[in-house]
Amino acid sequence: MKTAVQMNAARMPVYLDHASTTPVDSRVAARMAEVLNSETEFGNPASASHEYGDLAHSLVEQARRQVAAAVGAAAAEVVWTSGATEANNLGLFGVAQYYRERGRHIVTSRTEHKAVLDPCRELERRGWQVTYLVPDREGLLDPEQVAGSLRQDTTLVSVMHVNNEIGVVQNIGALGAICARHGAWLHVDAAQSLGKCPIDFAGLGVDLMSLSGHKVYGPKGVGALLVAQRRAGSRSAQVQLAPLLFGGGQERGLRAGTLATHQVVGMGLAFELASSISSTETVRIAQLQRRLWDGLASIGGVLRNGSASHSVPHLLNVSFEGVEGESLLAAIRPHLAVSTGSACNSALAEPSYVLRALGRGERLSESSLRFGLGRTTTECDIDTAVAVLSREVGRLREIAGAQPGKVPAAESGA
Ligand SMILES: *Cc1c(COP(=O)(O)O)cnc(C)c1O
């Protein structure tokens, strides 16, 4: 018998929004269900007084090793959280609070995820100063720009690895060296990285790194903050954090609360699977992205947002000249599941702040779509997307009486 989900799947639009979340790998779901159904694996991982606790603890520790191995970290550096949002909050508030007497200046960029920008705004309300660096038109930060922004009282730099709206990859290795030299801690939101590009926590000289389960074919509601235990390179000091939650002292006192064993196990397996993806899969995604871009470009009046050379192939962000973003999204909605900007901002009918930071005008920022390609994406999906967009963009332009290229030069921002 088919489940309701399977029956509906036939009528669902093509899913091209893997950057907002991914389906759970069936092997991960099966293993999680096993833990949930188990008569022996349900114990509290913090219960040290009996076998049930020990068994759950061993599952959590195995998952810790899996996550660590996937990103070049040590198991002891993994602090489980409810997701990358919590990991970002723990990293930012944790460092700010712990080092508040040393300095109250933080450096970040205008194109960060809201889960970094909103904590920064809150820290400003609490008396911290935040420098928001503006990337170049391609979305890239110049390491020298970061170096130039550091002050005596800078305690933390927070820059993401792979951008969730445009797929651009920042030069984290260069930032690691700069921060280490200056004595500022470096936090990196790497929620989008695993499975898309190489990621090496120890090698990058990063102090704190946020990870998420559900961007990597794992479950929602689980993530981790990596906290470097020893510093690669010149400085031997180790970053300290003030916790956000107080309770049972779990996770070395950094994150109180009973661990969700099945979630943690799911993330561990998802990370192990993602770290062993073949290079043929990466090539396949790159070919699909090329097919998508070629198809969209042939519509005319379509601009690509973000660097094409310093980016992952899993994301493609484009702006359509001469169409209104909201009308376009409504027109394609029955056929395509894509987004404008990040899922977290889709509720707000405002143009992407990421694209605005790249210098795109309001209209082009507002008429942008983000395509997130993933394991389930096929050539057929791409062809459907191109056909639907070609039809709907043409129709909307006709209605608006607009022609491609008619957007004022000041607005094109290209
Ligand atoms: C999805 C995402 C987050 C939020 O992660 P959650 O696990 O959903 O809290 C943070 N940063 C980036 C870059 C993301 O893509």
Strand order in the sheet with 223-227: 78-81, 223-227, 208-212, 185-189, 154-158, 105-109, 129-133
- 279-412 shares the fold of 26-275: no
- The Cβ of residue 47 has, within 10 Å, a number of other Cβ atoms equal to 15
pLDDT value for 324: 85
Q: What is the pLDDT of residues 143-175, one digit of tens each?
A: 999 999 999 999 999 999 999 999 999 999 999
Q: Which CATH architecture has domain 279-412?
A: Alpha-Beta Complex (3.90)
> Which residues of 176-216 form beta strands (DSSP E)?
185-189, 208-212
User: Ligand 1 atom 3: the closest Cα is on which residue?
Assistant: 84
Listed by start position, the domains of the chain span 26-275, 279-412
Q: pLDDT-based confidence at 1, cuts 50/70/90? A: very low
pLDDT over 80 (residue 346): no
pLDDT value for 186: 98
State the Cα torsion 367-373-378-384 to the nearest 10°: -10
pLDDT value for 28: 98
Answer yes or no: is the C-beta of 57 below 6 A from any ligand 1 atom: no
pLDDT over 50 (residue 414): no
Structure tokens at 369: 């779509």
Counting beta carbons within 10 angstroms of the beta carbon of residue 3, is it exposed (0 to 12), middle (13 to 18) or buried (19 or more)?
A: exposed
Helix or strand or coil: residue 322?
coil
Judged by average pLDDT, the poorest of 43-47, 285-289, 350-354 is 350-354
Q: pLDDT-based confidence at 234, cuts 50/70/90? A: very low
pLDDT over 50 (residue 410): no
Helix or strand or coil: residue 225?
strand
Judged by average pLDDT, the poorest of 51-60, 100-109, 110-119, 229-238 is 229-238
179 is catalytic: no
Answer yes or no: is the C-beta of 209 below 6 A from any ligand 1 atom: no
What is the chain's mean pLDDT, rounded? Answer: 92
Classify strands 14-15 and 302-304 as parallel, antiparallel or unpaired: unpaired
- Give the CATH number of domain 26-275: 3.40.640.10
Pocket test for ligand 1, best of 17, 160, 164, 225 (most atoms within 8 A of CB): 164
CB 133 within 8 A of CB 149: yes
Catalytic one of 120, 179, 197, 344: 344
Residue written as tokens 């695993």? 194
CA distance 293 to 304: 8
pLDDT value for 349: 59
Q: Is the pTM of the predicted complex or chain greater than 0.85? A: yes
Closest atom of ligand 1 to CA, residue 342: 15
